[in-house]
Copies of this chain bind each other. A is one copy, B any other.
């Protein structure tokens, strides 16, 4: 049986939980479209996050990779279109590093597009009643760092991969008045559908994929 790799991050920025890991953990072990979901937690640390990912890519040999991160303040499941070759941190990562305007991969290209069918995934989510959108920026913190590194490692290998940002959980938003949130059950059901769409999409290179 083929594997999907889904990654989530450990908590950061003073939060007690990270919805991306709660989501990945909840889906780990499920079988979606005859494909097993393998969950991986990544540290919220520049560099170490990518070496952790590297090890898992070798071990799991996934047919598809979805990296997930928390985007406090966003209101929906945001399928990221593009990863850029910049680390530019406004707060320190969990190891205290705070790179400014450094490349993720020296001499790497300026950007990589998602190779997931992000438009089809958003359309499927909305049709099923889940708020979702295509996002044009994954920021310049560890989320974008992992997204760029993932796309760089898998470039040309025919393994669809990409990144999705998700909102706070309600218990986090309870501490951040004015911030949107979605409960874990909603995130899990929506992501299950998004992964199913990505796995069964005939025109897997639809959406931004054609641009690579």
Please list the residues of chain A having a beta carbon within 8 angstroms of any beta carbon in chain B: 75-76, 81-82, 84-86, 101, 103, 109-113, 119, 125-133, 136-137, 139-140, 169-171, 173-183, 185-186, 207-208, 210-212
Q: Is the CB of B140 within 8 A of A136?
A: yes
* Cα distance, A139 to B140, chains bound together (Å): 16
Known: A84-B111, A130-B170, A137-B136. A211 touches B177 (CB 8 A): no
* Cα distance, A72 to B92, chains bound together (Å): 28
* Cα distance, A101 to B85, chains bound together (Å): 21
Q: Is the CB of B81 within 8 A of A86?
A: yes
Q: How far is the CB of A27 from chain B (nearest CB, A)?
A: 18
Q: Is the CB of A126 within 8 A of B174?
A: yes
Q: Is the interface of A mostly helix, strand, loop or mixed?
A: loop
Q: How far is the CB of A46 from chain B (nearest CB, A)?
A: 15
Q: Is the CB of B179 within 8 A of A75?
A: yes
Residues of chain B within 8 A of A81, CB atoms compared: 84, 86
* Cα distance, A185 to B188, chains bound together (Å): 15
Q: How far is the CB of A18 from chain B (nearest CB, A)?
A: 15
Contact of A180 among B75, B129, B169, B183 (CB under 8 A): B75
Q: How far is the CB of A19 from chain B (nearest CB, A)?
A: 13
- 8 example contacts (A-B, Cβ-Cβ < 8 A) are as follows A82-B110, A86-B211, A109-B111, A110-B112, A110-B113, A130-B170, A131-B181, A181-B182
* Cα distance, A125 to B174, chains bound together (Å): 8
Identify 11 new A-B residue pairs, CB closer than 8 A, beyond the known A84-B136, A131-B176, A182-B183. Answer: A75-B75, A75-B179, A75-B181, A76-B177, A86-B113, A101-B207, A101-B210, A109-B109, A130-B171, A132-B174, A133-B178
